[in-house]
Amino acid sequence: MSHILKHPVSLALGIIAVAMAVAALVVSLIAISDNDTARPADALASASRLHQPGVYTKAFVEQAIERYDSEGRGGAISYYNTKESMSGDWYVFIIDEAGKIVSHAARPERIGLSLDNLVDVTGYSYGLDFADTTENGSWVKYAYLNPANGHYENKHSWVVKRDGLIFGSGWYERSTDSLLPSKTEEPEAYTKAFVERALRRYTAQGRDATFSYYNSMESVDGDWYLFIIDENDKMVVHATVPDNIGQDMKGPLGTDSTGYDFGSEMLTATEDGKWVSYVYINPARGQEGKKHSWVVKRDGLIFASGWYETSTDAPTDAPTDALPPPRTQEPGEYTKSFVEQAVRRYAAQGRDATFSYYNSMESVDGDWYLFIIDENDKMVVHATVPDNIGQDMKGPLGTDSAGYDFGSEMLTATEDGKWVSYVYINPARGQEGKKHSWVVRRDGLIFGSGWYERSTDSSPPARTQEPGAYTKSFVEQGLRRYTSEGRDAAFSYYNSMESVDGQWYLFVFEDGKLVVHATVPENIGADLRGPLGTDSAGYDFGSEMLTATEDGKWVSYVYINPVSGQEGKKHSWVVRRDGLIFGSGWYEMPTDASPPSRTHELGEYTKYFVQQAVRRYTSEGRDAAFSYYNSMESVDGDWYIFVVDEDDKLAVHATVPENIGQDLRGPLGTDSAGYDFGSEMLTATEDGKWVSYVYINPSSGQEGKKHSWVVRRDGLIFGSGWYEN
């Protein structure tokens, strides 16, 4: 004190300096907090992300609204879906008028989520508070995954409504501990937290909504999934094995492979919860392991989930001969095991060998087949539908019949893997069904496979889109006819041309000898172990077929395609029943003969349709071809074949049979505008030509401009056409 008094001038200067600093600080704070007048860019520049995260967040959101005002809705949504829009932990999310997320650069997989589904790990429905915000903005606090560190932390989001859109961004409380325990370091604590989260959701959303969510693959978190047992001791929730639903825990479901009745033990759980340990399939490894489940009773229901011990004799790179889980009882686990096996093959054998194997029918295991997407987002492996290879997952291939863009969702897969659910053809049933695919990224590639929910429907699959599935369906139909009508009636039917469906026909062997074959009856009686069973490449496919069981198997070989009359790679599905072998097959279509799109490539499809008719004529002869194309069975939408004979008279026309026998140089060949298109058609050569004229469109019943492709072969003219809309 005495020291200060000795220097009054210094003291005065010091006081003045402090006062000026305080004044400057006050001015600065006022400028920063004056959100009504400060420009967003100025606020961002002056606010400290570290020391003023709230101020920075508000300015960040305001800047997004300013961009929206200047660039419009499309520009703002597009920009805030890019990584360039992010600033450290900060990113802008935008929610549209329907309550759906439309921009989210940090986690694009959340695009499309509804506000109703925004529930944090504690069970808090923060999406509802987002919806209540106004143009003045509001703060919403919830637990969220911080993409910067992978931890769940308390997040403070500032959300503002503008023109029906909600703009938001947030900051995270910094803490050394995550809001959730580590799955790898604290599996017991994580399991308890997983069950507790389900209980909070149940309290907040009720029974039906909770059951629905946890019966979806969306709820599965790696090895963790929730199962719920109802008041009658029956399983009511189990996303990975829906076949368990409805089973009694006091029955076989509640007894493990060692005979331990863990189900009855679970039923003694109270609201305090208890641990129950037993042997069960580990979905990560695809084999049995010691499982520890935390089970809690609430309102008569039992909520539970569990974790698996990691044993020294079962490392993460378990041998490829490890026993897979049961396909029917654990389809989710089996799918993971199937994909993991493929990833191991890739690691051991390399890219080319893996692609080659999984593009062969040999790799298909019942419903399961592998698909691989390359670094350019294109399908490169798909054994059952090779036409899919080369297609972009961001295009039509990646959108299901319900309009869901599952392809883009798959492309967000990481090395940890993820489930993607969508509608797709079930090869076992030959119809569309809900498919759950497990997709894993490795070295820029995405490996995937999936399983299907069961359906009571039984409509056949599309022949061109799912030839493998259609083949199985065709053979299954043959087996049903054999079972219901008996041997003689079934053999008689499948030895008739009536049973043939394009390239599909049924063949049957007894004691190795052919007894059914409609398209080549002269082969009947030949032995599969002789020349009949060896293809032109020398492969003994006959012996392979004879090893078929009741489960069925695929056998691939070279054989004559009855439609094209040429040899092609054939994939046959063969099944043993009562000592007989039933089979049918489909042919790979060369890339230069793939059917064009009827809706987008009308001209090319017309050429293809006529070419198919010429091939049938070449392989089956004049009478059979004329008979087929004079039947309505041959008509494909607007497309039908007409044939003009050597005397210039119409010999084939399924849709207007009364025209048959009329001369193309007469009234039949002149349209309503007076154009003599008949004479023009008669100048056609083997190279083919287009002839355009006015004609009745069978789809609309009205005249329209028709473009016909006509080709001469052996003095005959084959033609078909398409109509302008």
The pLDDT tens digits of the residues spanning 366-391 come to: 778 999 999 999 999 998 888 889 99
**Measured between alpha carbons, how far is 604 from 582 in angstroms, rounded to an integer?**
36
Would you say 153 and 175 are in contact if contact means Cβ atoms under 8 Å apart? yes
For 580, phi then psi, to 5°, come to -95, 155
Q: Look up tokens 């008669």; give the residue.
A: 682
User: pLDDT value at position 537?
Assistant: 80
Contact between 309 and 289 (Cβ < 8 Å): yes
**Which stretches of 486-555 are DSSP H helices?**
487-494, 541-545
Count Cβ neighbours within 10 Å for each residue of 53-73 and write b for 16 or more, e otherwise: bebbbbbbbbbbbebbeeeee
pLDDT averaged over every residue in the chain = 81
Please determine, for residue 118, whether its predicted confidence score (pLDDT) is greater than 90: no
Closest CA to 254 of 272, 227, 220: 227
Neighbours of 486 (CB within 10 A): 10
The 10s digit of each residue's pLDDT in 36-71 is 444 555 555 555 565 678 888 999 999 999 999 999
State yes or no: pLDDT of 22 exceeds 50: no
Q: Pick the residue with more confidence: 154 or 544?
A: 544
The H or E element containing residue 500 is none
Token pair for 318:
């378990």
CA distance 372 to 353: 13
Among residues 357, 427, 709, 407, the alpha carbon closest in space to that of 586 is found at: 427
* Order of all β-strands in the sheet with 301-308: 235-238, 227-229, 301-308, 287-298, 274-282
Tokens 């355009």, located at residue: 692
pLDDT tens track for 161-203: 999 999 999 988 765 344 556 666 678 888 988 898 889 888 8
Nearest-5° angle of CA 494, CA 496, CA 498? 95
Distance CA 517, CA 478 (A): 13
- E-assigned strands of 332-386? 371-373, 379-382
Per residue in 226-261, pLDDT (tens digit) is 999 999 999 999 988 888 899 999 998 998 877 889
- Of 133-142, 213-222, 271-280, the poorest mean pLDDT is in 213-222
Q: Within 10 Å of residue 81's Cβ, how many Cβ atoms?
A: 18
* Phi then psi dihedrals of residue 107, to 5 deg: -140, 80
Q: What is the C-alpha to C-alpha distance for residues 436 and 647, in angstroms, rounded to an integer?
A: 59
In this model, does residue 20 exceed pLDDT 70?
A: no
Task: Tell how far CA 679 is from the center of its chain.
Answer: 52
> Is the confidence at residue 330, as pLDDT, over 80?
no
User: What pLDDT does 148 receive?
Assistant: 58
pLDDT recorded at residue 465:
60
Q: Which long-range contacts (C-beta less than 8 Å, at least 24 apart) are formed by 617-626?
A: 617/713, 617/716, 617/718, 618/565, 618/713, 619/562, 619/563, 619/564, 619/565, 620/562, 624/497, 626/651, 626/652
The helix (run of H) or strand (run of E) holding residue 288 is: strand 287-298
What per-residue confidence (pLDDT) applies to 439?
95
* Cα distance between residue 48 and residue 145, in whole Å: 23
CA dihedral angle for residue 583, residue 587, residue 588, residue 589, rounded to 10 degrees: -160
Work out the average pLDDT over 300-329: 58
Question: pTM of the predicted model, to two decimals?
Answer: 0.34
The fraction of the chain above a pLDDT of 90, given in percent, is: 39
Phi/psi region, residue 669 (left: phi>0; alpha: psi -120 to 50; beta: rest), is: alpha
β-strands 227-229, 301-308 pairing? antiparallel
Looking at per-residue confidence, does 619 or 521 come out higher? 521
DSSP-derived secondary structure for 576-622: EETTEEEEEEEEPPPGGGPPPPTTT-HHHHHHHHHHHHHHHHHHH-H
Both tokens assigned to 578: 């009562």
- Coil, strand or helix: which one is 418? strand
